[in-house]
Amino acid sequence: MKIYVLLLVVSLIGAEGGEHENYCTDLLDFGPREEVQEERLQCHTVLRTVCEEVEQKDCLEVCEQTCEVTLVPSCKLTPGSLEAIRSTVNLSEVMLHTCSKEEARELHTMTVYECENVTKTHCTTLWDIDENGEKVWAGNDGDCKDVTWEECHPVPKEVPVLVPYMNCTEYPVNFVDVVNATTELPTSEFDCEVRPIQECKSKTSTKCGSVTYQKCSEVPELVCDPITIIVPKQEQLHKKWCQFDQAENIDFNLEVKKILEKVEE
């Protein structure tokens, strides 16, 4: 995560050597548009013929006249269908952002100093030493005058401050994407039914026979190849707007570290 800090140096209104609350505001921005390569799988289904040897046996009661059993297969091709995957090129849409920094006026409570004139009477006093050696007041010598000075004390006050915020709007961007869709794939199956027949010469007896044939069917097989597409993206930028006291030769790195440590506390 990248954090950018915007620096603002301000001085307090009417403050002389006073302290105020420093604060930071989070700002979310977006970087420039980038073209990022992403991997996709482009797939299609092919049919593969699979065959197996089938052996079938059967018996019949036949005449004793020397009968032989012959097995006759009856075969047919049966049509069907299978669910298959086919990749298609599709126009997709992604939402990107464009942002601008705006400012709004907010009221923040800060510490300022209010001052007023204070007048008091100052006199020169006389002191004597008593019998115990202690100083005791002996009155004024008539030298009195009024002295006026300015006294200041801190008070909280709401001060308008311009605070930034990010005004972001979305806009669509089209790109070419690959979509795998389901489709029906026609297939066929070749199979046989075996029917026994007899050939007799004389007496009846039980005869058995067997026949071997191939049973074949088409099975789907998914074939995929990796491809690379270009997808537009933007990186999120996490920024902070911070306020600092006005000072000569200010160390911004040290001041930012102090503010972040104070936020963590």
* Tokens (6 digits) for 208: 């058995």
Residue 43 has pLDDT above 80, yes or no: yes
**Predicted pLDDT at 17:** 40
Q: Is the confidence at residue 3, as pLDDT, over 80?
A: no
DSSP-derived pairing of the beta strands 236-245 and 3-10: parallel
pLDDT at 126: 64
How far, in Å, CA of 190 to CA of 172, rounded? 53
pLDDT number for residue 147:
80
Q: Please, is 23 exposed, middle or buried when counting C-beta atoms within 10 Å of its C-beta (0-12, 13-18, 19+)?
A: middle
H runs (alpha helix) in the chain: 252-264
The pLDDT of residue 111 is 84
CA distance 52 to 44: 26
Q: At residue 131, does pLDDT exceed 60?
A: yes
Please give the pLDDT value at position 174: 93
pLDDT digits (tens, 9 = 90+) for 194-214: 888 887 767 777 888 888 988
Between CA 183 and CA 17 the distance in angstroms is 79
> Residue 180 above 80 pLDDT?
yes
pLDDT of 151? 85
pLDDT at 170: 93
Beta strand residue intervals within the chain, DSSP E: 3-10, 24-30, 34-64, 68-129, 135-199, 203-233, 236-245
18 has pLDDT over 70: no
Q: What are the Cα distances from residue 136, in Å, to 141, 157, 187?
A: 15, 48, 126
Return the pLDDT at 264. Answer: 66
Tokens describing residue 253: 């790195």
What does the domain layout of the chain look like in residue ranges?
32-234
Residue 7 has pLDDT above 60, yes or no: no
Q: Residue 19 — pLDDT band, cuts 50, 70, 90?
A: very low
| Average pLDDT of the residues of the chain | 80
- Give the sheet arrangement for strand 236-245, strand by strand: 3-10, 236-245, 24-30
Q: How far apart are the first and last CA of the chain?
A: 21
Phi/psi of residue 253, nearest 5 degrees: -60, -45
Structure confidence at residue 265 as a pLDDT band (50, 70, 90): low
Query: CA angle, 70 as apex, 64 and 76 as ends, to 5°?
Result: 150
What is the model's pLDDT at position 13? 34
Rounded mean pLDDT, 131-137: 74
Cα 124 → chain centroid:
78
Answer yes or no: are the C-beta atoms of 173 and 93 closer than 8 Å.
yes
Is the pLDDT higher at 52 or at 242?
A: 52
Which phi and psi (to 5°) does residue 93 adopt? -135, 135
